[in-house]
Amino acid sequence: MKSELQAHRPLVNDTAFLLARANARSLAATHAALAEHGLRVRSYTVLALAVAEARLSQRDIAEYLWLDPSQVVALVDDLQQRGYVAREPDENDRRAKVVVATDEGRRVHAAAARSVRESEDETLDVLAADEQAQLRELLLRLAFPA
């Protein structure tokens, strides 16, 4: 980075910029960690929701992740082709389908989750443990306001 930018540190009072920059750093590190598992952040999050056994529809997943439903269809299609998830009838509405993890999907998710945790630890190592906990709590409040 140019020394002039470092000296003046523009945008340090712009919360949206700081959140975006921190997110970009986190995503880059997480994508790198997931590469060995053949996943990207979005496919990993869909797989994580399937592993959680919430039995969510693709529409529910799209709403939760703030994605267009067509994006989720493509992500689920890919995960299904790889044998990580299956679409099953919803027990409450036989016309609807829910996304569930397969045994292979649970195995891949467990390994990927370990890599993600290691990546997060490295990304957040500039913060003390109590600051990391506080950051997660604040982000949770921002992501899911009451």
**What CATH number has the domain bearing residue 111?**
1.10.10.10
Q: Could you list the residue range(s) of the whole structural domain that residue 55 is in?
A: 14-143
Q: Which residue has the tokens 């306001």?
A: 145
Q: Is 101 part of a structural domain of the chain? A: yes
* Region of 83 on the Ramachandran plot (φ > 0 left; ψ -120 to 50 alpha; else beta): left
Degrees, nearest 5: CA angle 70-74-79: 145
Question: Is there a domain that residue 7 lies in?
Answer: no
Give a yes or no: residue 2 inside a domain.
Answer: no
Q: How many domains does the chain have?
A: 1
The H or E element spanning position 88 is strand 85-90
| In a domain? residue 3 | no
The whole-number pLDDT of residue 6 equals 67
Per-10-residue mean pLDDT for the chain, 146 residues long? 65 91 96 98 98 94 96 98 96 90 98 98 96 97 93
Residue 5 covered by a domain: no
Instruction: Give the pTM.
Output: 0.90
Domain contains 30: yes
- Residue 4: the pLDDT is 61
Pick from 116, 142, 143, 132: which is nearest to 51 by CA?
116
Question: Minimal CA–CA distance to 124: which of 136, 111, 114, 110?
Answer: 136
